[in-house]
Amino acid sequence: MQLPWFQRFPTAEDTQTLYNRALSEPCPRATLTRQAEIFSSSIVAVGAFNPAIFTPDWLERNNLIGRDDLEDARKGLSLIVSHQVCAYETDWFALQVLEEQFSLTSKGPLTPAFADLAIGILSFVPHTPITAVGLNFLGHYRLASTEEYHQVGDVLAPKSIWVRLYPEEHATAGLADLTIRIQQTDKNRNQISGGEKQISIQPSAKVRYGVFFAYNDHHVVAPTNEAATAAELAADTISAYWELSWQDAVRVFDGVLSQALAR
């Protein structure tokens, strides 16, 4: 049985298919109606890690970061390296590794160099047992007015039920957090793999009259042969899907806002 595309190991054919698809489909950024005020990414891997390995010096020795980045990380107040946790940041990323979770977060402008760093790090720990990789994108979008701001919340989460439950004159109901999960299913609506997407929507804490979106593209890492270890497979997953997820996140964020405001 052919496994779904996001569960099996991405072969050369998969990569070519994705590449062709990316080329044949119009670039979603070209038709966007609005641009994020803040946009960032985070790559999270779940598994069993040895945090003490991932020091800034180790990254620099392996030529994954430069000398300036090393100095940045060393001087940072957040630097901590122990057996249980390794965390530090430079001016363009923050790394945090726990025994069961690896998390790389972008700072400043997002570029593919960020994914390259994650791929590079995981490539240097090929025997780390990784079970899942999440490609996360976070965006803050500014709306033109308070009316638009409330319209988005009202369209996504109608308040009629809550107004009936709390009819008091001075009570209001507002959307604080909405999460939608997208899963691939068969015709009986049974999930056919562990991979899924989650999109969360909240009021922005950073942008006035802004909406915050979080997009999680979750990939299960399940080595099916001995040719690749789990960490290599995780790196391949990031390599194959990170940019596509970025495009999809932007398409979804823009699509949600556009449709909500068109009502």
| Choice between 238 and 260, CB closer to another protein | 238
**100 touches another protein (CB under 8 A):** yes
| Choice between 211 and 260, CB closer to another protein | 211
Return d(Cα 155, Cα 220) in angstroms, integer. Answer: 33
Return d(Cα 29, Cα 211) in angstroms, integer. Answer: 19
**222 touches another protein (CB under 8 A):** yes
Nearest approach, Cβ of residue 68 and another protein (Å): 4
DSSP structural state of residue 227: T
**118 touches another protein (CB under 8 A):** no
Return d(Cα 89, Cα 77) in angstroms, integer. Answer: 9
**257 touches another protein (CB under 8 A):** no
**99 touches another protein (CB under 8 A):** yes
Site for another protein in 174-213 (CB under 8 A): 176-177, 179, 181, 191, 194, 196, 198, 200, 202, 204-207, 212
Q: How far is CA 232 from CA 14, 193, 226, in A?
A: 16, 20, 11
**21 touches another protein (CB under 8 A):** no
**240 touches another protein (CB under 8 A):** no
Q: How far is CA 172 from CA 68, 128, 157, 169, in A?
A: 51, 50, 13, 8
Residue 33-62 contact track with another protein, rule CB under 8 A, x = bound: --xxxxxx-x-xxx---------------x
Question: Cβ contacts of residue 106 below 8 Å, gap of 6+?
Answer: 40, 41, 42, 92, 93, 114
